[in-house]
């Protein structure tokens, strides 16, 4: 996620200095803690949160079991990872909805609350719920029209009322939704440009009227420390159950995500990572901490892949991988799967050891040119690439509007991919070369430097059980 790029770079630098040392002492740890503190300040994290975090890391890092360890630097990295996970919320929290549920969304104007309401409705619909949206934001011009338009896009009903009273709009929408057999009602409440008494009073009255199962605060992650102050104000007045962070794909510095749990005591439950209506994900603190430290996010990558491909596609691709086969028909299928998974740079950041490539500019338009080259091949050429001689390469380049050099690069990249898949099929760990001009693995001229082999990891990582929230119900 773009929101943590700068922080990730600074933390990796601070911890990288420790890795270069065979032994650690109080001075080297103190130096690293100062760099970590600077990184968190630049990320606009709440100062109280920074002091607590750095203090905990320092105390644990100076323990005898770390300093006398055979790998003290790795122990410190482990501590930072664990404390970051704790800072982000420790456990994964998901909505535990009853048979009939009401979700109240609150937040300031500009946080993306209305769009988030539609994203949440789409997500719950995909999980088998029957959601509806209630338009109770009567303050922002065109908010109701926007909600209706979004509702049509995801085929979810939107209830509006001809009134200037938000409480009446919420009550009317809830009654109509229940009469229509809706099992999950999402109320889009009004926002303000800033927290004020009028906003809180109206929101409190709406909350008492609809009696929500869950009250979720929508926070703009680009507001930094201010987001923590906003969260505290809403928590004190309406007792929120959780937070949805928006714009995590933007240029924010990450302060909101790292501060809100400590300030409010309430977890981040969802994160919005793009403008599309499918860009809402359950927030996993442990996975996010790993990504911030450049350690990848394999579980999220696997989940995206599972959503992007059917079981038949996955089984077929796995069978071909075991045989060490990778034709251009496979390339087209892989292209289709990749597009479903999202931007390529985002995928690279989830892969352990691939952060170096993720920081390079990946021109995804070049993938389209590679696809044009493949589509200019005959079916026989796609399934039997070794038959493509010089005359065929010239014809393919002409038909795809590319050069013979680009065709040659793609052919070489396919060979490298087939070789890597053969190694993986035999249970070996492949050495991943740099990305080529088409975004495929391949040692291409001018490409980024090679990436070291991925480490094998023994055992399996267990998912944390979802924790049931305690408190008001």
Q: For residue range 366-411, list pLDDT tens digits in order.
A: 777 888 999 999 999 988 988 999 999 999 999 999 999 999 988 9
Rounded Cα distance between 447 and 436, Å, is 6
Question: Which CATH number does the domain 101-294 belong to among 3.90.1150.10, 3.40.50.261, 3.40.50.300, 3.20.20.150?
Answer: 3.40.50.300
Where exactly are the structural domains of the chain? 2-88, 101-294, 299-425
Q: What is the mean pLDDT of residues 171-194?
A: 92
User: Does residue 120 surpass a pLDDT of 90?
Assistant: yes
Give the per-residue pLDDT at 314: 67
Q: What is the mean pLDDT of the chain?
A: 77
Give the per-residue pLDDT at 305: 60
Query: For 58-111, how does the pLDDT look when each residue is reduced to its tens digit (9 = 90+)?
Result: 888 888 677 666 677 777 888 888 888 888 887 888 888 999 999 999 998 888
Helical ranges in 89-224 per DSSP H: 113-126, 143-154, 166-179, 197-210
Question: Which CATH number does the domain 2-88 belong to among 3.40.50.300, 3.30.420.40, 2.60.40.10, 1.20.120.140?
Answer: 1.20.120.140
Give the per-residue pLDDT at 75: 79
Give the per-residue pLDDT at 25: 80
Q: Is 52 exposed, middle or buried (0-12, 13-18, 19+ CB in 10 A)?
A: middle
* 161 or 227: which leads in pLDDT: 161
User: Does residue 188 surpass a pLDDT of 80?
Assistant: yes
2-88 and 101-294 share one fold:
no
CA nearest neighbour of 335 among 440, 413, 412, 417: 440
Query: For 286-338, how does the pLDDT look when each residue is reduced to its tens digit (9 = 90+)?
Result: 888 877 776 544 455 555 565 656 667 666 766 766 666 778 888 877 777 76
Q: Report percent pLDDT > 90 for the chain.
A: 28
DSSP state of 221: G
CA nearest neighbour of 438 among 347, 389, 371: 371
Give the per-residue pLDDT at 1: 47
Cβ-based neighbour number of residue 159 at 10 Å: 24
Rounded Cα distance between 195 and 95, Å, is 26
Band of residue 47 on the pLDDT scale cut at 50, 70, 90:
confident
Give the per-residue pLDDT at 69: 66
Give the per-residue pLDDT at 31: 86
User: Does residue 428 surpass a pLDDT of 70?
Assistant: no
Give the per-residue pLDDT at 139: 83
Yes or no: say if 312 and 304 are a contact pair by the CB < 8 Å rule: no
* 345 or 21: which leads in pLDDT: 21
b/e burial code for range 440-449 (CB count within 10 A of at least 16 → b)? bbbebeebbe
Band of residue 459 on the pLDDT scale cut at 50, 70, 90:
very low
Question: Which CATH number does the domain 299-425 belong to among 3.40.190.10, 1.10.760.10, 1.10.1040.10, 1.10.260.30?
Answer: 1.10.260.30
CA nearest neighbour of 227 among 270, 195, 188: 195
Query: For 24-34, how does the pLDDT look when each residue is reduced to its tens digit (9 = 90+)?
Result: 788 888 888 88
Give the per-residue pLDDT at 330: 81
Q: Report percent pLDDT > 70 for the chain.
A: 72
User: Does residue 244 surpass a pLDDT of 70?
Assistant: yes
Yes or no: say if 338 and 344 are a contact pair by the CB < 8 Å rule: yes
């Amino acid at each position: 996620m773009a929101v943590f790029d700068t922080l990730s770079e600074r933390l990796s630098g601070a911890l990288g200095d420790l890795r270069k040392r065979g032994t650690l002492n109080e001075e080297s740890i103190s130096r690293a803690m100062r760099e970590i503190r600077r990184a968190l300040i630049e990320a606009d994290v709440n100062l109280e949160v920074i002091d607590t975090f750095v203090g905990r890391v320092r105390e644990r890092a100076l323990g005898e079991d770390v300093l006398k360890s055979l790998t003290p630097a790795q122990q410190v990295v482990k501590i930072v990872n664990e404390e970051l996970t704790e800072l982000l919320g420790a456990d994964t929290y998901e909505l535990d909805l009853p048979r009939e549920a009401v979700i109240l969304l609150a937040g300031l104007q500009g946080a993306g609350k209305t769009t988030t309401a539609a994203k949440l409705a789409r997500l719950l619909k995909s999980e088998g719920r029957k959601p509806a949206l209630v338009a109770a934001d009567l303050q922002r011009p065109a908010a109701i029209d926007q909600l209706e338009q979004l509702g049509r896009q995801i085929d979810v009903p939107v209830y509006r009322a001809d009134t200037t009273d938000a409480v009446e709009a919420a009550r009317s929408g809830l009654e109509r939704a229940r009469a229509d057999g809706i099992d999950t009602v999402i109320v889009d409440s009004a926002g303000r440009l800033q927290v004020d008494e009028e906003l809180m009073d109206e929101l409190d009255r709406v909350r008492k009227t609809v009696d929500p199962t869950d009250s979720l605060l929508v926070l703009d992650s680009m507001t930094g420390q201010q987001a923590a102050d906003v969260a505290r104000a809403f928590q004190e007045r309406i007792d929120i159950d959780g937070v949805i962070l928006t714009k995590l794909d933007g240029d924010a510095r990450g302060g909101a995500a790292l501060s809100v749990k400590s300030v409010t005591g309430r977890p981040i439950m969802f994160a919005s990572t793009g403008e599309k209506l499918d860009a809402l994900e359950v927030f996993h603190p442990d996975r996010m901490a790993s990504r911030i430290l450049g350690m990848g996010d394999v579980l999220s990558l696997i989940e995206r892949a599972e959503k992007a491909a059917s079981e038949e596609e996955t089984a077929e691709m796995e069978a071909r991988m075991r045989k060490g086969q990778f034709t251009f028909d496979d390339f087209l299928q892989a292209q289709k799967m990749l597009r479903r998974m999202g931007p390529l740079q985002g995928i690279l950041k989830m892969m352990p050891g691939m952060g170096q490539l993720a920081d390079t500019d990946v021109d995804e338009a070049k993938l389209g040119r590679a696809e044009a080259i493949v589509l200019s091949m005959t079916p026989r050429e796609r399934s039997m690439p070794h038959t493509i001689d010089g005359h065929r390469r010239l014809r393919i380049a002409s038909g795809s509007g590319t050069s013979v050099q680009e065709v040659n690069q793609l052919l070489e990249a396919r060979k490298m991919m087939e070789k890597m898949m053969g190694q993986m099929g035999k249970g070996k760990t492949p050495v991943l070369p740099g990305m080529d001009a088409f975004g495929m693995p391949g040692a291409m001229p001018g490409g980024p430097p090679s990436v070291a082999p991925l480490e094998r990891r023994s055992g399996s990582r267990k998912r944390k059980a979802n924790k049931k929230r305690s408190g008001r119900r």
